[in-house]
Amino acid sequence: MYTGQTVFSQLLDFLPTYQFRKCVERYQGNRGIKGFSCWDHFLCMSFAQLTYRESLRDIEACLRSLRSKLYHSGIRSSSRSTIAYANENRNWQIYSDFAQVLIYEAKKLYINDKFGVELDETVYALDSTTIDLCLSLFPWAKFRKQKGAVKLHTLLDLRGSIPSFIRITDGKVHDVNILDELIPEPGSFYVMDRGYTDFARLYWLTQCFAFFVIRAKSNIDFHRVISNQFDKSTGLRCDQIIALTGVKTSKIYPEKLRRIKYFDVENNKTLVFLTNNFSLPPLTVAELYRCRREIELFFKWIKQHLRIKAFYGTSENAVKTQIWIAVSTYLLIAIVKKMLKIELSLYTILQILSVTVFEKMPILQVLTDSDFTIPIYDNPNQLNLFDF
């Protein structure tokens, strides 16, 4: 029940604080700390994400200007040196583990959402995005000879655009190596671009009873075994069962594959797909790959609307801490949207929250156009001395 809380405090009610404490205890995050706890650190960084703070000095100035409202919001005013020290020394895995808790909660809420293709199975899109860094300031983030970067490798559940797996590496780690870290779900579909072409790893997905849809490279050696019937008016150009004939590829992937060629009228481009699923209609396979663009939109969204391009610290721990808290903020907004049944987009919700986090209004009133109000009740245990 709303009792005069700030919007920021109401947002915190959606966070599983018990699970956060377990994450902190797992890495002894508060050991030897008396004042600025890991929870305080998380809240300050979340505030920075929600309100688009550009620097530690910016965070410090804004929190001090709102000092009278901080206590009732559950957040602690801190100096930039305190926040900087926490970014450098609090184990980033605390916030990584907490993000996994939020991922689990969000997936449960979005499990029945539609994503454009009528499938009962879970469909994931796998891709990465590069965040450029200055090599002289971030010497640990190796990428080019005179350029630094980190990569955000993400496995996105297309139902609700919820990231199921995230791995942060330096820019030199090739995308295909991330397939070694995935635990395939039997029966699920993994949609990937051609940068993930490695038939040994794809065969491992097949052995785990998982399906993949991947855009084929043009230099693959194969021979056609069977040509299936298809409707050319839908944009399909071929639907074939093939066997690899390369000296190495025929050994590391000894089973048959399905090859589908599709002409994309919208982009005037011919696309060729490989999959180990032989039962789906060929047009559905093409539609699955088209849905892969959701992960590109996800990367674009978090880069534009969260603070993951400019960092508050230069160490690896500080960068990973900031990224994981940004991901947690994204997931929190997604959870709030679903639990309160809000029709607004995540972008609009974030824009509204950025200017109302310390307002004392019901969050539903803030995020809807209706005149939704909840009366503020006094303490029911307080006796009335006078009757009016």
Helices 80-89 and 38-51: crossing angle, nearest 10°? 110
Q: Report pLDDT digits (tens) over 67-106.
A: 888 877 788 878 899 999 999 999 999 999 999 999 999 9
Q: Which two tokens stand for residue 158?
A: 């297309």
- The label of the residue with tokens 């060929």 reads 282
Q: What share of the chain is helix, strand, coil (3-state, %, to 5)?
A: 40, 20, 40
How many helices (H) and strands (E) would you count in the chain? 14, 10
Question: Do residues 63 and 50 make contact, with C-beta atoms less than 8 angstroms apart?
Answer: no
Question: Do residues 358 and 69 make contact, with C-beta atoms less than 8 angstroms apart?
Answer: yes
CB atoms closer than 10 angstroms to residue 181: 10
- Backbone angle region of 118, left / alpha / beta, with phi > 0 → left and psi within -120 to 50 → alpha: beta
| Residue 242: predicted pLDDT | 95
Q: Which two tokens stand for residue 20?
A: 């956060």
Query: In terms of Cα–Cα distance, which of 95, 142, 126, 181 is closest to 299?
Result: 126
CA distance 153 to 147: 19
Residue ranges of domains in the chain? 7-92+315-367, 194-291
> How many degrees, rounded to 5, is the angle at CA 91 between CA 89 and CA 97?
160
DSSP string computed for 300-354: HHHHHHSS-SS-S--SHHHHHHHHHHHHHHHHHHHHHHHHTT--S-HHHHHHHHH
CA distance 316 to 334: 27
Q: Report pLDDT digits (tens) over 114-153.
A: 888 888 899 999 999 999 999 999 999 989 888 999 999 9
Low-confidence ranges of the chain (pLDDT < 70): 1-3, 369-388
Q: Which two tokens stand for residue 188?
A: 């699920």
Q: Give me the half-sphere count of Cα atoms (radius 13 Å) on the Cβ side of residue 244.
A: 23
The secondary structure element, H or E, covering residue 200 is helix 199-207
DSSP string computed for 100-147: HHHHHHHHHHHTT---SS--SS-EEEEEEEEEEE-TTT-TTSEEETTE
Query: In terms of Cα–Cα distance, which of 44, 36, 74, 88 is closest to 62?
Result: 44
| Residue 113: predicted pLDDT | 87
Beta bridge partners of 271: 262
Question: Do residues 135 and 178 make contact, with C-beta atoms less than 8 angstroms apart?
Answer: no
CA distance 123 to 244: 26
What's this model's pTM, rounded to 2 decimal places?
0.88
- Counting every residue, how long is the chain? 388
At a CB cut-off of 8 Å and minimum separation 6, what does 345 contact? none
- The label of the residue with tokens 């039997």 reads 186
| Residue 189: predicted pLDDT | 96
| Residue 116: predicted pLDDT | 82
